[in-house]
Structure 1
């Protein structure tokens, strides 16, 4: 039996050969890139890569090594493509983006729309982001808000996107893909839910509780502790408070903000009924104008990928190769295509960054329907 130290020395020698051959191959890949730049050919040639992988797999002597070399050369080819994308930028070949940088968001004489009624958390987010002196109005649904900025009835819309306890607001993710509006800002606010009833109500009178589905989820533990209560969904927490006022029934209560108690003349039956004391919601500011503040530090994108093995892995590798930090990844089913998904990703960066441009070029070439949702 050979000594382990001798085996490791031989492995080190083989590894050195592999590194040298890898660098030689990448130099050849750069020559390929120069040719493609000169002729205008695309970097990714899927049929060529497929044929090449089949040929390489045929050189292996066992099923185990066949699988291994296929995976190895998939990575080598992926790295080659990434280098070629870099070279395109180095030669001044860049994709034109229709996003315009601005020094700051224009807010004077602008109109803002939010979903719900007076006292909604979206109104709180709006006032926190824009201040208290803005011209604003509210609509019944999130779709109505997106329509309002699309049609020029409002300049900005404020929409909830994610809660720290209940997760994403999936409908708004889908609306970001459906409409050609973009994210220009975000505002995170602490959500402190209260149980509100009529002036003559006591906690022992309550049998029905109204709130938005997210509000009910965020207070699930509190509601489960009162098993005799019926939970009923409304379109908005403030709408729930308004309903309690209008119905004037002391067996009904709303889960909503303390602000709505003052607005609708309701009694605070119990405060801070959310399960998570640090419960917060992330709201996005959406505009029909494709713009971003020059010092923006977060980018949101969405893409679809071919329904085949390794597609997501290869897409995400563009962030790793370009040293970009992903903050968040979410998937949503694609309508009319069972078990296929589109992916929403937030990552740190600015559209002017070279690394971002490289990553977006690679993603555009290798994914389906890449859409930049905003830089903010």
Structure 2
């Protein structure tokens, strides 16, 4: 019986042959890529690849080896495609992405919309990004804001997309896919909830607490200490503050920001009542123009995939191959298609970068309905 060292030497000899054959295969793949550059033929030929996988599987024995050789050839063909995508990009075959690079956004003359009402966290985020004196107005829903910029009533919208404790604002992902609006910036603000009531109100007299559902959840530890209080959900925290002011009832209070309490003349009865003391919300800046800042470092995209084994794995390999750091992935069910999903991905990069162009080329070929949501 051979020793372990002898067996390893046999493997080394076989591996040397595999490495040599791999390089020989890639040289042929490069020639195939040159042909496709000249002829305009698509890189990804799904019919050909499926036939190839069936063919190699038929040449080995045993189910384990059949599955293994198919996985091996999936990787070999994936590397071939990536090489050919790079050749196409180098030849200028990617074409111009429909996004225009700009040095800066026109903040001083812009008209900005935010969702909510006076005193909302969205207004605070807007002022943080555009300045205290920006020309702005507010609307009732996220959809209203997206329609306002699509119709040209506003140049930019400021909308929440993620909270550090509550997670993603899933509605925003659906709206980004639906509307022809694009992310051009982001801003992150701390979310610090207070319990605020009418001037002179006392905690011992309170009966009803109003706020947005997610804010009530984020302050649940404090609120649960007062089991007799009725918690009532409203559209947002600023609406809650406004309601307490308008109803002029000292037994009512709102979970809202100190900014909203100031706007509506309320008194802070308890400060920093968040469960999580480090609580932040990320807001995106959206416009109807396909533009991106020269200094942009993050790209958001969405795409659909066939409902089959390995489809997401194969798509994500484009980020790995091009050394692109993926920072976030979300999935949303597709309307009318059971068990099929649309994926939303954030990754580091700039649309002018060759590695990004190469990755997008591959993603366009192999995913369904790829949409670039913005570079910011």
Task: Please say if 1:92 is aligned against 2:78.
Answer: no
Q: For residues 132 and 337 of structure 2, what CA distance do their matches in structure 1 show?
A: 44
1:270 aligns with 2:270: yes
In the alignment, is residue 21 of structure 1 matched against residue 25 of structure 2? no
Residues 183 and 373 in structure 1, CA contact (< 8 A), matched pair in contact too: yes
CA contact (8 A) 1:141 1:235 kept: no
Three-state SS of the structure 1 residue aligned to 2:118 is coil
1:198 Cα deviation after fit: 2.0
Asked if residue 34 in structure 1 is aligned to residue 42 in structure 2, the reply is: no
**More displaced 10-residue stretch of structure 1: 108-117 or 47-56:** 108-117
SS in 2 for 1:109: coil
Q: Distance in 2 between matches of 1:100 and 1:187?
A: 22
TM-score, length-normalised on structure 2? 0.98
Residue 81 of structure 1 corresponds to which residue in structure 2? 81
Query: Could you say which residue in structure 1 is the equivalent of 2:118?
Result: 118
Alignment of 1:224-243 (within 5 A): 224-243=224-243
1:172 and 2:145 equivalent?
no
Give the match for residue 10 of structure 1.
Answer: 10
What is the distance in 2 between the residues matched to 1:96 and 1:52?
A: 33
Gap runs ≥5 in structure 2? none
Give the equivalent residue in structure 1 for 2:320: 320
Structure 1 Cα separation of the partners of residues 59 and 209 of structure 2 = 68
Aligned twin of 1:131: 131
Cα separation, 1, equivalents of 2:241 and 2:366: 49
Q: Aligned partners of 1:237, 1:189: CA distance in 2, in Å?
A: 15
CA shift for structure 1 position 22: 1.1
Q: How much does 1:363 deviate?
A: 0.4
The number of equivalent residue pairs is 376
Aligned to 2:362: 362
Distance (Å, rounded) in 1 between the aligned partners of 2:13 and 2:120: 67
Unmatched 5+ residue regions in structure 1? none
Q: Which residue of 2 aligns with 1:60?
A: 60
Shift of 1:102: 0.5
Following superposition, the deviation at residue 218 of structure 1 comes to 1.9
Helix, strand or coil: the match of 1:84? helix
Secondary structure class of the residue paired with 1:196: strand
Task: State the SS of the aligned residue for 1:154.
Answer: coil
TM-superposed CA distance for 1:118, in Å, is 1.0
Q: Distance in 2 between matches of 1:148 and 1:368?
A: 28
CA contact (8 A) 1:349 1:356 kept: yes
- Counterpart position of 1:342: 342
Q: How many angstroms does 1:207 deviate by?
A: 2.9
Aligned-pair CA distance for 1:36: 1.5
